[in-house]
Chain A
Amino acid sequence: DTEVTQTPKHLVMGMTNKKSLKCEQHMGHRAMYWYKQKAKKPPELMFVYSYEKLSINESVPSRFSPECPNSSLLNLHLHALQPEDSALYLCASSQEPKRSYEQYFGPGTRLTVT
């Protein structure tokens, strides 16, 4: 199983809503990532979890709050977002954080903030 799953596929939320994005992998990977991707742009790294601990936060606004409940799950909690936060949010995982293994990406959640 080389799959990373993400739910929901699409999400529309108002600026006062609270929602969560979910990501799951069962490959035994110990590094998990959140990326944001705008149209016709490359993915931008937001957060890295290494062995379930937050290891990198790319100066992401606090309205985005990541959580790693266990080694297979990664959540991204959203609160008080802005319309410019509308984007494709990609989750990825890789085998070992300290070495260069390829990252496997999930299909993404397309988020629209109204």
Chain B
Amino acid sequence: GQNIDQPTEMTATEGAIVQINCTYQTSGFNGLFWYQQHAGEAPTFLSYNVLDGLEEKGRFSSFLSRSKGYSYLLLKELQMKDSASYLCAVRDRGKLIFGQGTELSVKP
């Protein structure tokens, strides 16, 4: 079966660091993506991991452990505009399978 789990909601403070975890069990695996989606808008691509390890891109980093079926998205120096839904998605045989999304609220 296909199962992608992430926390439903998280709250963090402006300027802080937050880590959003994602665990997955899928039939196949061709990479893991993180997307950001603001309310009423389309998802936008944040990061991609296919090999184990950390990928860093500015204030955002993403980590993957294939043996553990685990990824996290790390957001540093949080800003109010980072309040959004963060979607973990696994590519499996040509399809993106999305987790339910984590709604992040950044408070002053």
A interface vs B, CB < 8 Å?
A: 33, 40-45, 48, 50, 55-56, 90, 97-98, 100, 102-108
Contacts and interface: CB of A to CB of B under 8 A. Distances in A.
A43 B43 contact: yes
B105 interface: no
A96 to B, nearest CB: 11
Interface in B32-47: 33, 41-45
Interface stretch (B10-18, B52-60, B76-84, B88-96): B88-96
B95 A42 contact: no
B106 interface: no
A48 B97 CA distance: 13
Interface magnitude class on chain B: 20 to 34
A56 B45 contact: no
Contact of B48 (A41, A102, A107): A102
Contact of B45 (A33, A41, A97, A102): A102
15 contacts: A40-B101, A41-B100, A42-B98, A42-B99, A44-B98, A48-B94, A55-B94, A56-B94, A97-B94, A100-B30, A100-B31, A100-B48, A100-B91, A102-B45, A105-B44
A67 B35 CA distance: 27
A102 B101 contact: no
B95 A102 contact: no
Contacts of A48: 94-95
B3 to A, nearest CB: 13
Given A42-B87, A90-B42, A107-B41, A102 B98 contact: no
Contacts of B104: none
A104 B99 contact: no
A50 B94 contact: yes
Given A42-B87, A100-B30, 10 more contacts: A33-B96, A40-B103, A41-B101, A43-B98, A45-B96, A97-B94, A100-B31, A100-B50, A102-B33, A107-B42
